[in-house]
Structure formats: C-alpha cells, structure tokens
Amino acid sequence: MVLEPVPGARCDSESYYYCYSFDRELEQEWTWTERYPRQPEIKAYLDHVADRFDLRRDIRFSTTVTGARADADGRGWTVSVQEGTDLHCRFLVTAVGCLSAANVPDLPGLETFAGRWFHTGRWPHEGVDVTGRQVGVVGTGSTGIQAIPVLAREAAHLTVLQRTPNYSVPARNGPLSEAESRSYKADYADIRAVQAASANGHPFVVNPQSALEVDAAERDGVYRAAWERGGLRFRASYRDLLADEEANETASEFVRDRIREIVRDPETAARLLPHDHGFATKRPPIDTGYFETYNRDDVTLVDVRADPVEAVVPEGLRLRSGAVHELDDIVFATGFDALTGPLLRLDPTGPDGTSLRSAWWDGPRTYLGLAVSGFPNLFTITGPFSPSVLTNMPSSIEQHVDWIAGCLAHLRATGADRIEADPGAEQAWGEHNREAADATLLPRAATSWYLGANVPGKPSVFMPYAGGFARYAGTCADVARDGYRGFRLGHRRAVA
Ligand code: NAP
C-alpha cells in the first residue's frame, strides 16, 4: 500500500477547532468527518476556504523565496524568488511556519546508503510503498509516534531507533457523528469564547485544583477518565501539571504505568519509560496504538541513547558499538529546526546590511514575536517569543493576522510608511519571555526542541512564549491601543 501523506499524519487539536474562526458561515457550512482528520481532509478544507473567499488570485503558487533585503530607507523590501524576477513591497509578512525546516541528522555516509531514505517533513507527494521492506525509523516525537504503528503494519520488519523515550496519550480518534457535528456547530460562540480566554487556544477549561490536593484514588480516577477520553486535554486534568514538579510526577507516573500495562515484554516496556523529563514538558504526542505496536513480533526497539547511530552504511545504520541494522528504507522522524530555522533559511537583510542570521547569532530577539528591531516593515507570523507552538496553531495564527491587519490599517490611516520594533522594548520582551518560561517546568526538559536542543550548535533559548495565549493576546491589544507602544513609526516627509 502506498503511504501518502506521511504515515499516520493527523492534526492533534480536534477538528472542530483546528480551523478558522473568522467567519460564522464558514463554521456552519464545513463538516469534519473525524475527531482528528488526516492531511487530505485538512487540505480539502483549505482548498474550500481558498475558493470560497476567492483567494487564489492573490497567491503565486510554486514560488520559492530565496531571500529578502530591506530598502536603505527601511520603507520597503525586495524579495528574491527562484522562479522569476524580484518583487518589491512596502511591508513583508512572513508566514513560513514554526516547523517547516527539516532537521536531517548530519550522519556520515548517507550518500552511500543503498536503500531509500526520507525525512517525514519532506515526504514525497506521490507517497511511499514500504510493503515487504525492512524499515528503520529514527525518532519518537509526535511524528514518529504517529507513523510507527502505520509503518509496522505495512513493512516486513520495523526497527525503531529511540533516543529519548516519550510520553503519549491515546488520541481516541474516530468518526464524528451527525449529532456531534450539530452540537459543536450550535455551540461555536461558546467554544470560541473559551478558546480566547484560555492559556493555549484549546476550548478546555483547566481543572482549577492542584493534583496534590486530592488523594491518590481520586487523582487516579481523574487521569483514567482523561486517558479514556483521549487527546491533549489530558493536560487539563489539574492546574499545576506544568508548574509543579511533584504534581507533574503524578501524571508522568500514571502514563508510565499505562506503558508497563500495555507493553508485554518487560525489557521493551522498561526501555520505553520516559525518565529524563516530566509529562508534557516536551510537546506531548497523542497516538493510535503506539505502545501496542511494540507487542508485534516484527517490531524491534533499539536504544540509541545507549548506543548512538554513528553512520549510514550501504546496508543500513551503524551504531557506535559496531552493530549494523540492515534496512531497505530509513525514515528520519527527526523533527525540525523549529521556530528560528524557517526565518533563518530566508535570512532577510536589514537596511544597514545586517542579516537576521548575524543579528540572532546567540539566539532570537523579537518584540512580541511579531517584529525584530533592525528589520523595519517586517512582520513575523507566529515568530519566536509568541505563544505559537504552545497553542492551537490556528488560534495563534488568526490572532497575529488580525493584529498585523489592524496595524497596517493604523499606519495607512495615520500616513505612516515605516514601523520598527524599539530595541529597548524588544529586550524587555525577551526578559519577560524568560520569566514566563521559568515559571513553568518547560525549560527543564533538556532535550526539548522548544529550547533548540535537537539541533546541534543551536543557541539554547526557550523560544515560544509560555505566559499564555489570552494574556499574550491582551498584551498585543494593549500595545495597539497605546498607539503601538514599543514600536517606532515613521512618516515620509512631504516633498516641497
Ligand atoms: P521532534 O518532536 O523533534 O522529535 C524528533 C525525534 O527524533 C526525537 O525523538 C529525537 O530524539 C529524535 N532525533 C533527532 N535527531 C536524532 C538523532 N541524530 N539520532 C537519534 N534520534 C534523533 O519532531 P517531530 O516528531 O517531527 O515533531 C515536531 C513537532 O511537530 C511536534 O512536537 C508537534 O508540535 C508537531 N507535530 C504535530 C503533530 C500533530 O499535530 N498530530 C504530528 C507531528 C508533529 P530526542 O528527543 O532525543 O531529541
């Protein structure tokens, strides 16, 4: 069977809110078929939105932007594209995504591999058939955890090369009934209000109790109900799961117990137990039959923390010990150069010739995750130091788009043609980000891509804003209300 798109790829926010909220009719006319739809259904939705709002005439497809440089007066940008001539614009808005720069491990010998290799973020559009093949997967993040059960069903044998064991909660995916669709459509006003007031853009109210103020039996009941319901909502079981180590440990141990229960071979189960970080301090995956997959005779789990992958050889992967895993296909589910990577690959250059790469040599600096000092008239949708990947992404994207649209309208109305983040405001925002992250357990997960730890040599900076979506959106609204506090606005002088 041809696996297209990436095996197991689905959203992990639920469909009824992993979508736009800006149009009431759109909400009512589109009906999702599953709790977590596959990529083709999400693409069909985006196609529908593009057609419904007649967006295609404003989009140039199949165009690769290779660079952007600011005009010397900071009042415009020249954008270079691979296919055709340069473009010029007054304002440049990047929407390059947080997780779009693939992170392929720099392993010697990759070019000598006799089989096929893939990175999940660059999966061939025509799909891949692994039927009857010896397949190796490197990586057990959200992508690996989604892909492994599907690959195991199709391949002759699957070898999972695991560096850091991960927590995962069952997704409990399934079709949405007509009654369920009717119900969310009827409730949209309330759902959107809960999302807007939330810490992460999900329409769940977090249990206001501490995990430590109830007895073990009651807590176990709450976790069991959350496990049965499935999905990221598990995190909402208690208010302090991401703020208090002891509280977090109760959830971590609950998930470890489920792993011990599901995986029949005790040695394999032990290897799968996360031990170096707390539940959800790295981005928590949700799965369909992930831990159960290790009960198959044709699946092998290899600990590459103890014995790291050292090289690719023509037959497969060679570990430090010298052991070679013979493979026909290698699937790198090794994640992304997150948040900064997509912007640095674009590497815009400011009016004084400074590149973003040199401005960010020791880590990102932004004001509100929306703008960078030294780079006037540039807006970065879901940039570093905005809530982005800690939230339901459509919520964060819409909030940024609305804010930028409001800002551009303000500039036009006031005759301004230049806007730039003030370096002092940017520095204060960076400090506030650090404080917000340090108030949580998130920076303690040493191998987290939130910190850039997955990319060798990347500066260690906690990149998403951890102060909460509602608080952040409030700050952005206040900044606008205060006449774009922290930004310098420039007006072109009238020509005499
Ligand atoms: P990831 O979370 O960064 O996981 C990458 C995996 O590869 C980790 O297990 C990592 O191990 C391992 N790895 C990286 N380099 C390695 C090497 N040289 N040798 C051995 N192992 C190596 O990436 P991802 O799974 O693609 O997920 C990224 C994010 O995308 C998610 O956290 C989520 O935000 C998003 N996502 C969402 C969905 C969804 O909506 N359902 C699905 C997939 C992804 P270490 O942990 O030791 O670094």
Judged on CB neighbours under 10 Å (0-12, 13-18, 19+), 132 is: exposed
The residue behind tokens 């959800």 is: 280
In a domain, 46, yes or no: no
Boundary residue ending a domain (308, 332, 356) = 332
Atom of ligand 1 nearest to the CA of 140: 9
The span from the CA of 403 to the CA of 48, in Å, is: 24
State which of 332, 364, 396 marks the end of a domain.
332
Q: Given pLDDT bands bounded at 50, 70 and 90, which one contains residue 245?
A: very high
Pairing assessment for the beta strands 487-491 and 416-421 based on DSSP bridges = antiparallel
Q: Are 319 and 308 in contact (CB under 8 A)?
A: yes
Sign of the alpha-carbon torsion through 20, 26, 32, 37? negative
Q: Which atom of ligand 1 is nearest to the CA of 99?
A: 30
- Amino acid 461: pLDDT: 97
List of residues 6+ apart from 303 with CB closer than 8 A: 162, 271
Q: 349-360: per-residue pLDDT in tens?
A: 999 999 999 999
Q: How far is the CA of 332 from the centre of ligand 1 (A)?
A: 9
User: What's the CA gap between 359 and 375, in Å, rounded?
Assistant: 10
Pairing of strands 416-421, 309-313: unpaired
Give the CATH number of the domain where residue 420 resides: 3.50.50.60
CA dist 398 to 166, 297, 433, Å? Answer: 31, 46, 21
Give a yes or no: residue 312 inside a domain. Answer: yes
Specify the pLDDT at position 322.
97
The per-residue pLDDT for 83 is 87
Q: Mean pLDDT over residues 167-181, rounded?
A: 97
C-alpha 99: how far from chain center: 6
Check pocket membership of 479 for ligand 1, CB cut-off 6 A.
Answer: no
- Closest residue by CA, ligand 1 atom 6: 139
Q: Does residue 405 share a domain with residue 300?
A: no
Report if residue 472 sits inside a domain: yes
How many helices and strands in the chain, by DSSP H and E?
A: 14, 19
Residues 277 and 350 occupy one common structural domain: no
Number of domains in the chain: 2
Residues in the chain: 496
Q: Indicate the top mutation candidate among 98, 143, 173, 458 to test ligand 1's pocket, ranked by most ligand atoms within 8 A of CB.
A: 143
CB atoms within 10 A of CB 67: 15
Q: Whose CA is nearest to atom 10 of ligand 1?
A: 139
CA-to-CA distance for 219 and 246, rounded, in angstroms? 13
139 Cα to the center of ligand 1, angstroms: 6
Instruction: Give the tokens for residue 209.
Output: 């109790």
Q: For residues 68 and 79, is the Cβ–Cβ distance under 8 A? A: yes
- If one residue of 163, 166, 232, 320 were mutated to test the ligand 1 pocket, choosing by the most ligand atoms within 8 A of its CB, it would be 163
Let me know whether 239 and 371 are in one domain.
no
Q: Probe ligand 1: pick from 10, 110, 142, 232, max atoms within 8 Å of CB? A: 142
Residues 345 and 326 in one domain: no
Contact 136, 327 (CB under 8 A): yes
Q: Check residue 493 and give its pLDDT.
A: 65
- Ligand 1 within 6 A of CB of 333: yes
Q: Within a domain: residue 54?
A: no
Q: Could you tell me the pLDDT band of residue 494, with boundaries at 50, 70 and 90? A: low
Query: Under a CB-based contact definition with an 8 Å cutoff, are residues 383 and 369 in contact?
Result: yes
> Which amino acid residue places its CA nearest to atom 33 of ligand 1?
142
Which residues does 172 contact at the CB level (< 8 Å), separation at least 6?
35, 228, 229, 230, 231
User: In this predicted structure, what is the pLDDT of residue 446?
Assistant: 87
Model confidence at 125: pLDDT above 60: yes
Residues contacting 190, CB < 8 A, separation 6+: none
* In the chain, % of residues over pLDDT 70: 99
Give the separation between CA 326 and CA 317, rounded to whole angstroms: 7
Assign 377 a pLDDT band (cuts: 50, 70, 90).
very high
Domain stops at, among 332, 347, 377: 332
Distance between the two ends of the chain, CA-based, in angstroms? 71
150: in domain: yes
Do 157 and 252 belong to one domain? yes
Residue ranges of E strands in 268-355? 286-287, 299-303, 309-313, 316-319, 324-326, 329-332
Q: What pLDDT does residue 495 have? A: 53
Same domain, 207 and 222: yes
Q: How far apart are CA 146 and CA 102, in angstroms?
A: 17
DSSP symbol at 22: S
Distance of CA 107 from the midpoint of ligand 1 (Å): 17
Question: 141 and 453 in contact (C-beta within 8 Å)?
Answer: no
Task: Write down the mean pLDDT value for the chain.
Answer: 96
Kindly state whether residues 88 and 158 are assigned to the same domain: no
Same structural domain for residues 253 and 165? yes
Ligand 1 centroid to Cα of residue 448, in Å, is 9
The per-residue pLDDT for range 178-207, each reduced to its tens digit, is 999 999 999 999 999 999 999 999 999 999
- The answer to whether position 15 is within a domain reads no
Q: Is the CB of 407 under 6 A from ligand 1?
A: no
Structure tokens belonging to residue 233: 């909502």
User: 303 and 355: one domain?
Assistant: no
Q: Do residues 183 and 263 share a domain?
A: yes
The tally of CA atoms less than 13 A away on the side-chain side of residue 430 is: 17
Tell me the per-residue pLDDT of 249-267, one tens digit each, with 9 for 90 and over: 999 999 999 999 999 999 9
Q: Please check whether residues 320 and 400 belong to one and the same domain.
A: no
The token pair that represents 359 in the structure block: 């401005």
Question: Is 256 near ligand 1, meaning CB less than 6 Å away?
Answer: no
**Domain of residue 188, residue span:** 110-332
d(CA 226, CA 171): 11
Tell me, yes or no, whether 294 and 146 share the same domain.
yes
Which is it for the CA torsion 121, 50, 43, 34, positive or negative? positive
pLDDT of residue 150: 96
DSSP string, 84-112: SS-EEES-EEE---SS-SB-----TTGGG
In contact, 39 and 125? CB cutoff 8 Å: no
Cβ(144) to ligand 1 under 6 A? yes
